[in-house]
Structure 1
Amino acid sequence: MGVCLGSEEFGSDSNIARSINVPDQGLLGDLLWADPDKDVKGWGENDRGVSYTLGPDKVAVFLSKHDLDLICRSHQVVEDGYEFFANRQLVTIFSAPNYCGEFDNADAMMSVDDSLICSFRILKLSDKKGKIGFSNISKPRMPRHKGGKG
């Protein structure tokens, strides 16, 4: 679930038909293409030419409104495989290393344990003979959800 301009209710994406073409405007397009931007307050123009950018303030409002601690998103290249935004209230996870042969990016996988602690596993393609290297990152650890058990 992402943050989007047209979304009124959390979970409103559950009625979206699957295997459809993504329109340039509207809820589905915003869920896919909206990008965080630290230099924006509220909503801003997106360089992609579709959807919007959102500032840290929109992340905080969304999380507060829905009693959540973290937004996980993708569909944007980040150098180290994952990248936090808005005081670790949003994380972008990207899982295509050396994207399109044009970026020297790692990929990441995020795991969430039973205590709602997040950890990351990084995959970095090596320049030497196409070797792949893994590294486990146990930080940053995210706190248990405010409304969670225990």
Structure 2
Amino acid sequence: MLDLDQTIENIKQCKLIPESDIEEICTLLIDILIDESNIQHLHTPVTICGDIHGQLHDLITIFAIGGELPQTQYVFLGDFVDRGFNSLETWLLLMTYKLKYPSKITLIRGNHESRQITTVYGFYDECLRKYGSVNVWRYCCEVFDYLSLGAVINGRTEGGKGEKEGGGGSGSGSGVFCVHGGLSPEIDSIDQIRILDRKQEVPHEGGMCDLLWSDPEEDVKGWSISPRGAGFLFGESEVDKFLHLNNVGLIARAHQLVMEGYREMFDSKLVTVWSAPNYCYRCGNVASVLRIDDGLNRDYKVFEAVEFDEEVAGGKRDGGGGALGKKPVVEYFL
């Protein structure tokens, strides 16, 4: 039988978890995620976390400053892996916490929770170096396919009846819509997200792709082509339209490095939350998490990177975040 408490402690210390235990963790987690909807409905108070990118020690800091489980409810907006020294441990810690406290932690898929992306930006190579095969990577990627695409905090009940939940204000804009990337020209309503087939590799185009890849842009009117090569740039008019049609007041998303840890846009109707301080161990940025209380008030907790022993964390990495020292530097800040 899997000892979750001991496994969690071993993960935090970067101890190698037996491959058979990882397979069991992934199998058990899929059994939980398969019953969750594309859009998870959450009640306040909730703490929202942005990109983590394999920075295990900073993830541990998040639980220290944001509140330990199960006293605090968390929603993570994706990009758990790639770039950092400890993508595997980061993902394992989140998975084991989800197994132990399934109603207290919500995991939303990011664009890096993808087979194609992880083979280039570190996670695949890290698993191969640590276990000598790709089995662990394959188990984890299978879990990625079952992650939710978004969440609504204190918003409509499922089925689109327009009811309010919790203590989230009155009138138009009473909830928070959480997503990794942004909006899509193919999706007007949250109900449309509910019926997407999420159990697949991230497609290269379409509504599901856009939710994971799109970005807001101040100077864009409507929609514009994204320089990322996937998703779109969208402006304030599209944010206003989406908020009005879905009776929410805020879009909380991640996906973009923000040097100050968070950034509100469009008259505070959209916020980008970034939770990987000193991203790639060289960007020098601070990070944040966002707590939403029962009145839908926002409390940003800003924090800096922690110091750690690189050898204990996983040794030296190559420029592309890989482990075998065969890949060139890949300048990629998604």
User: Fold match, TM over 0.5?
Assistant: yes
Within the candidate set 290, 296, 299, 1:116 is matched to: 296
Runs of 5+ consecutive residues of structure 2 not aligned to the other structure: 1-178, 309-334
Over the matched positions of the two proteins, sequence identity in percent amounts to 34
Contact 2:188 2:242 in 1 (8 A): no
Is residue 271 of structure 2 the alignment partner of residue 91 of structure 1? yes
Is residue 205 of structure 2 the alignment partner of residue 25 of structure 1? yes
The two structures have a TM-score, normalised by structure 2, of 0.36
Amino acid in the other structure paired with 1:60: D
Match of 1:146 in 2: none
Match of 1:34 in 2: 214
Give runs of aligned pairs for residues 1-150 of structure 1, distance below 5 A: 1=179, 2-17=182-197, 20-125=200-305, 130=307
Shift of 1:98: 1.4
Residue-pair matches, total: 128
- Greater RCO (CA < 8 Å, at least 6 residues apart): 2
Aligned mates of 1:7, 1:105 — CA distance in 2: 33
The two structures have a TM-score, normalised by structure 1, of 0.77
- Structure in which a larger fraction of residues adopt strand: 1
Amino acid in the other structure paired with 1:110: L
Shift of 1:16: 4.2
Amino acid in the other structure paired with 1:10: I
In our comparison, the structure showing a higher alpha carbon Rg is: 2
- Structure in which a larger fraction of residues adopt helix: 2
Aligned mates of 1:115, 1:96 — CA distance in 2: 27
Aligned mates of 1:81, 1:111 — CA distance in 2: 14
- Runs of 4+ aligned structure 1 residues displaced above 4 Å come to 16-19
Runs of 5+ consecutive residues of structure 1 not aligned to the other structure: 132-150
Aligned mates of 2:267, 2:200 — CA distance in 1: 34
Match of 1:134 in 2: none
